[in-house]
Amino acid sequence: MDNTLFNFTINPPRMRLSGHSISVGRGTRKRDEDSGTEVGEGTDEWTQSKATVRPPDQLELTDAELKEEFTRILTANNPHAPQNIVRYSFKEGTYKLIGVVNQLAVHFSQVGNLIPKDSDEGRRQHYRDELAASSQESTKVVISETEILEEEEELKEAEVETEAGSQTDMPVAEVAEKVTEEELMTPKQPKERKLTNKFNFSERASQTLNNPLRDRECQMEPPPRTNFSATANQWEIYDAYVEELEKQEKTKEKEKAKTPVAKKMGKMAMRKMTSMESQSDDITKVTQAAKIVERMVNQNTYDDVAQDFKYYEDAADEYRDQEGTLLPLWKFQNDKAKRLAVTALCWNPKYNDLFAVGHGSYDFMKQSQGMLLLYSMKNPSFPEYIFSSESGIMCLDIHVDHPYLVVVGHYDGNVAIYNLKKPHSQPSFRSSAKSGKHTDPVWQVRWQKDDMDNNLNFFSVSSDGRIVSWTLLKSELVHTDVIKLKAEGSTTDGLDGLQLHTMGCGTAFDFHKEIDYMFLVGTEEGKIYKCSKSYSSKFLDTYDAHNMAVDAVSWSPYHTKVFMSCSSDWTVKIWDHTIKTPMFIYDLNSAVGDVAWAPYSSTVFAAVTTNGKTHVFDLSINKYEAICSQPVVTKKKNKITHVQFNPIHPIIIVGDDRGHVICLKLSPNLRKMPKEKKGQEVQKGPAVEIAKLDKLLNLVREVKTKT
């Protein structure tokens, strides 16, 4: 309810003097006050009635305090409104605090039944009321008229009876006329007219069910635990120290009595003991589980890259004119090898996701340690194996039949073999000055088939001009010089008529895939020698290949006559070893660091240059230029040093001089296979690839014979 303020006015009482009533007005009172005359006894009572009555606890304030103003601001905030209301957010799946609270306080509310006149319902009711009112008026008019007609008929009947008593029945025509008049007099009630919807609009609403949230949980068995308890007293600690000292004295006495060979055997046994002790440790028990968890975390972290590696195909290749692209996938790097160049790359022949990386330095003035790292595509964040060496690693190779054996060549001329099965970081075999190590950097090493005694052996080439065969015996490396490179036309006459030969500097070599004894050697002078294991003094053939040092030589994996070479003179050349002139020459406008044949096609190969670009060629599509030339390093200063194709997957890996290895996926145009024809099966296999390359070579041979 609304509070109503009532004002009451109190009139002063009338006073009686000497029996007459005298009314004191406003003007007389004023005159009396001015003149100071006494009006009567009633004045005292009036003044007494207007005297102020103060409550006993009222404060006595000064005029300044009374005049002081206090401002109070009235706000529309409800003091009783709750400030901690939370609502469930289906979007975020949690309860969230509501920031805006309704401050409206309702004191009284009542649901009314009033309808606006302009609404549809209001118009319908108004129309019904008008119809009802019109029907009532029409019924009143009809009743009054019927009464008048009845009275007139009674009078007529009386007259007729008097005039013609014999007349009893009315004619049929008059009765019909009366019936029609009655029908006309009764008003027809109009039908209710429905209001049309001008917009033809209908609103529908539906509420959808929210997807239920599901939690999946699994309970694992807790790892087994063992409780160990013991008491440690002063004398027990003393006895333990005494026993340890006695053991050390005994081992020293045994070592003195042993021969040098026995010492080595003893060291190996001690290493085995330490490895066995470390395996029995609790930490090593969880290494396998920790490695699996690490791979799972990396798989989740690099999930988008893994999806691209498995399923992504560049759809834009359909609109390119026989050109392709390289999609960057993973980037492999390690902090320890940050300032070391990638000097060698090699895929593991058994595990297609594992590859080895050799780190060293090509700068003569900046030589430091070397690193051998083995990465897996399942874990791009950290290498699977890490081996360090005092000298930089310049080359490496993994054995085909024993994929755990890795041979490396060092900058100081040594060669070493690492066994991945052994946990220690030292090489299992290593050359020395006594065992005939090279005097210059070892530029390439290659595993060969086992010799007659089933001993493992490999070859190495160095800048000292020696090509050496190394054989692994039980505990040492035995070397044999296969051939010594001599620079042609560099013989000088010495004392007593002796001829001195200047040694050639070997930089790269490769063995034939089918003919075991034949191999090629590239030199710093730019020449390529075709050599045989059987002849140590003569070359089978000599090719004037390049104007600068040959960086890589590689036989074709399909065609037995074709090999490829690259050089720092910016060129890549494809040769037929029966012809001394190159079949194809490609100028890449920068020093070429490495070349590699594709394993899936005889006409596809890749080359990398020092300006940071990777070039992919397909001779069957374009014989004159690369179908893909793409920069793949992040900085322009970075130089790409090596490239390798994966034997199964359509990817390549490239390494630069900053220690980074980048994995790239080939687009469909770079690995085009022969199209299927209707009703014909596509022929596949080495014979088809050989014929495809032979067809191209025959075209070039015909041109050369004509010229």
Are the C-beta atoms of 655 and 375 separated by less than 8 Å?
no
pLDDT given at position 653: 92
Tell me what the mean pLDDT of segment 636-647 comes to: 87
* pLDDT of 298: 85
pLDDT tens-digit map of 127-164: 999 999 988 887 776 676 677 777 777 777 766 565 55
Q: Under a CB-based contact definition with an 8 Å cutoff, are residues 524 and 485 in contact?
A: no
Backbone angles phi, psi at 14, to 5 degrees: -75, 140
pLDDT digits over 448-467, tens only? 888 777 888 899 998 888 88
- Residue 1's pLDDT is 41
* pLDDT interval class at 56 (50, 70, 90): confident
Here the tokens at position 286 are 């969880």
In the structure, what pLDDT confidence band is assigned to residue 267 with cuts at 50, 70 and 90? Answer: low
Cβ-based neighbours of 600, under 8 Å, separated by 6 or more: 650, 671, 673
DSSP strand E in 150-290: where? none
Under the banding of pLDDT at 50, 70 and 90, the label for residue 296 is confident
Closest CA to 645 of 379, 358, 346, 255: 346
Identify any residues that bridge with 595 across adjacent strands, giving them in sequence order: 607
594 Cα distance to chain centroid = 32
* Per-residue confidence band for 340, with pLDDT thresholds at 50, 70 and 90: confident
- How many alpha carbons fall within 13 Å on the CB side of residue 483? 26
Contact 334, 358 (CB under 8 A): no
pLDDT of residue 607: 93
Range ranked top by mean pLDDT from 445-459, 596-610, 631-645, 692-706: 596-610
Dihedral of the alpha carbons of 229, 232, 233, 239, in degrees to the nearest 10: 120
Residue 278 has pLDDT above 70, yes or no: no
Least confident of 131-140, 167-176, 211-220, 228-237: 167-176
Per-residue pLDDT, 44: 57
Edge-to-edge strands of the sheet including 506-511? 506-511, 518-523, 527-532, 541-544
Q: Supply the angle between the helices 287-301 and 303-311 in degrees, to the nearest 10.
A: 70
**Percentage of the chain lying above the pLDDT 90 cut:** 9
Q: Residue 235: its pLDDT value, please?
A: 87
Residue 305 main-chain phi, psi, to 5 deg: -70, -40
Q: What is the pLDDT of residue 626?
A: 87
379 to each of 287, 293, 329, 370, how far by Cα in Å? 15, 11, 13, 22
pLDDT of residue 503: 66
Contact residues for 647 (Cβ-Cβ < 8 A; gap 6+): 347, 349, 352, 599
Residue 654: predicted pLDDT = 93
Residue with tokens 């007293």: 233
**SS3 letters for 408-436?**
EEECCCCEEEEECCCCCCCCCEECCCCCC
The pLDDT confidence band at residue 526, using thresholds 50, 70 and 90, is confident
pLDDT for the residue 4: 39
Angle at CA of residue 428, ends 483 and 358, nearest 5°: 70
Q: Which residue has the tokens 């009321």?
A: 129
**Residues 673, 631: Cα–Cα separation, whole Å:** 25
Which is higher by pLDDT, 184 or 656? 656
Q: Of 547, 500, 493, nearest to 522 (Cα)?
A: 547
More confident residue, 375 or 76: 375
pLDDT of 595 higher than 90: yes
- Residues 550 and 544: their CA atoms lie apart, in Å, by 11
- Nearest alpha-carbon partner for 592 in 581, 576, 602, 606: 606
Identify the residue with better confidence: 588 or 283.
588
Q: What percent of the chain is predicted at pLDDT more than 70?
A: 76
Is 311 a residue whose pLDDT tops 60? yes
Residue where the block lists tokens 């996701």? 353
| Percent helix, percent strand, percent coil in the chain, to nearest 5 | 25, 25, 45
pLDDT digits (tens, 9 = 90+) for 359-405: 998 887 788 888 899 999 888 888 888 888 888 899 999 998 888 88
- Residue 357 scores a pLDDT above 90: yes
Mean of pLDDT values over 9-27: 41
What pLDDT does residue 35 have? Answer: 46
Contacts of 228 (CB under 8 A, 6+ apart): none
Calculated CA dihedral for residues 561, 567, 572, 577, nearest 10 degrees: -20
**Cβ-based neighbours of 294, under 8 Å, separated by 6 or more:** 379, 382
pLDDT band at 34 (very low <50, low <70, confident <90, very high): very low
Residue 583: both structure tokens together: 């079949």
Q: Which residues contact 561 (CB under 8 A, 6 or more apart)?
A: 576, 577, 578
Neighbours of 504 (CB within 10 A): 21
* Residue 643 confidence (pLDDT): 92
Mean pLDDT across 175-182: 56
Better-predicted residue by pLDDT, 11 or 643: 643
pLDDT value at position 634? 74
Report the greatest alpha carbon distance in the chain: 193
- Give the C-alpha separation, 326 to 347, whole Å: 19
Q: Which one, of 258, 257, 470, 295, lies nearest residue 381 by Cα?
A: 295
Mean pLDDT of the chain: 78
- Residue 228: the pLDDT is 83
CA nearest 470: which of 421, 436, 505? Answer: 436
Q: How many residues does this entry show for the chain?
A: 707
Phi, then psi, of 192 in degrees rounded to 5: -70, 125
Q: What is the CATH number of domain 303-674?
A: 2.130.10.10
Token readout for 165 is: 């008593």
pLDDT band at 166 (very low <50, low <70, confident <90, very high): very low
Q: 326-332 and 661-666 as β-strands: parallel, antiparallel, unpaired?
A: antiparallel
- Picking from 605, 578, 579, 575, the residue whose alpha carbon sits closest to that of residue 592 is 605
Exposure b/e, 684-694, CB count within 10 A at least 16 = b: eeeeebbebbb
